[in-house]
């Protein structure tokens, strides 16, 4: 695993937020990775392991996750606030351009960024999310987000993760479930293993509409002209094949990659996803703005 520095920035409402900074060359736009609803910076360890060094990789903990502070106001756990948090970081980093990798909620934020910092977007990856979200996926997520549990050992946690995600990753073995558990959970002060996020993130998410926000097709249109990769898990219950196909054809510089036998969401280390990422980054470097 490549080395990284733990760095921090401040939100507009005074929260100390965390990101991992994996070093890379300054003559390429950094890759900014944005995790899903209940996940954190550890979710992009495989991506960073493969790309760091050749690219600077910046991986965020959204507010209320990982090493970022928990919000006093639960209703700030919404995409527009996350967008403002990330814009504050981009201002602090003062990078002229960047590539956004967004998984699930992170992909929604990426689409919103196309409306606010479009001039800085050198490329975009939307991982298993789009302007239309399937009801089955939303209902499944609403069924578990914000429900706390504790486990005495990592193996107990891994088995629980396996039971809840067997249909999402049907080919996973115990080693992969253990890795997934160690990315999603942490050890608390009592030595118990718990989910690594503020349970209150569920409060706004349970309000209909807060999972996506405004008309996201209009947001997606702002990615016109930006090299874009749409990744979909073939078993996804959140992003339909029809929506993914429409996304790819509605943008002039988009490619769709479908990862077989994976649901929501691919971890981006799958061969199909990794190859798609390499093609995306090659296109980013070929763009005049990236020179």
- Of 141-155, 158-172, 271-285, give the lowest mean pLDDT range: 141-155
Does the N-terminal peptide bond of residue 252 adopt cis geometry, omega within 30 degrees of 0? no
Mean pLDDT of 150-169: 95
Confidence of residue 290 (pLDDT cuts 50, 70, 90): very low
Mean pLDDT of 234-246: 98
Strands (E), 75-219: 98-103, 121-127, 150-151, 185-187, 193-195
Using a pLDDT cut of 90, give the percent of the chain over it. Answer: 88
Q: What share of the chain is helix, strand, coil (3-state, %, to 5)?
A: 40, 20, 40
Q: In this structure, how many other beta carbons lie within 10 angstroms of the beta carbon of residue 255?
A: 15
What does the block give as tokens for 17? 């937020």
pLDDT at 214: 61
Distance CA 134, CA 139 (A): 9
Q: In this structure, how many other beta carbons lie within 10 angstroms of the beta carbon of residue 91?
A: 11
pLDDT at 85 > cutoff 90? yes
Q: In this structure, how many other beta carbons lie within 10 angstroms of the beta carbon of residue 286?
A: 10
Angle at 62 between CA 277 and CA 280, to 5 degrees: 10
pLDDT at 1: 75
Q: Which domains does the chain have, with CATH numbers?
A: 5-144+200-290 (3.40.50.1820), 147-196 (no CATH)
pLDDT at 138: 85
pLDDT at 39 > cutoff 90? yes
What integer best gives the mean pLDDT of the chain?
A: 94
Confidence of residue 213 (pLDDT cuts 50, 70, 90): low
More confident site: 59 or 138:
59
From 51, 52, 39, select the one nearest 4 (Cα to Cα). Answer: 52
Mean pLDDT of 59-63: 98
- Strands 185-187 and 193-195, by their bridges, are antiparallel
What does pTM read for this prediction?
0.95
Dump pLDDT digits (tens) for 182-208: 999 999 999 999 999 999 999 987 666
What SS3 state is found at 61? strand
pLDDT at 163 > cutoff 50? yes
Distance CA 1, CA 43 (A): 13
pLDDT at 158: 97
pLDDT at 212 > cutoff 50? no
């Amino acid at each position: 695993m490549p080395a990284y520095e733990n760095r921090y920035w401040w939100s507009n409402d005074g929260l100390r937020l965390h990101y991992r900074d994996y070093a890379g060359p300054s003559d390429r736009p950094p890759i900014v990775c944005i995790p899903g609803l209940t996940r954190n910076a550890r979710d992009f360890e495989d991506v960073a392991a493969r790309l760091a060094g050749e690219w600077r990789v910046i991986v965020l903990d959204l507010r209320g996750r990982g090493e970022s502070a928990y919000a006093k106001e639960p209703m700030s756990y919404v995409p527009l606030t996350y967008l403002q948090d990330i814009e504050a970081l981009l201002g602090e980093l003062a990078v002229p351009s960047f590539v956004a990798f967004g998984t699930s909620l992170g992909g929604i934020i990426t689409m919103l960024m196309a409306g606010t910092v479009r001039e800085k977007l050198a490329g975009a990856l939307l991982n298993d999310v789009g302007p239309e979200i399937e009801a089955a996926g939303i209902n499944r997520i609403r069924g578990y987000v914000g429900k706390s549990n504790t486990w005495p050992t990592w193996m107990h946690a891994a088995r629980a993760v396996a039971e809840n995600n067997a249909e999402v990753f049907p080919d996973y073995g115990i080693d992969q479930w253990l890795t997934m558990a160690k990315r999603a959970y942490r050890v608390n002060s009592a030595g118990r293993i718990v989910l690594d996020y503020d349970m209150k993130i569920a409060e706004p998410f349970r309000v209909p509409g807060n999972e996506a926000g405004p008309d996201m097709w209009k947001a997606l249109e702002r990615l016109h002209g930006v090299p874009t990769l749409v990744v979909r898990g073939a078993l996804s219950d959140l992003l339909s094949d029809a929506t993914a196909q429409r996304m790819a054809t509605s943008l002039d510089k988009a490619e769709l990659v479908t990862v077989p036998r994976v649901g929501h969401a691919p971890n981006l280390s799958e061969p199909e996803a990794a190859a798609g990422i390499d093609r995306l980054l090659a296109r980013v470097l070929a763009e005049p703005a990236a020179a």
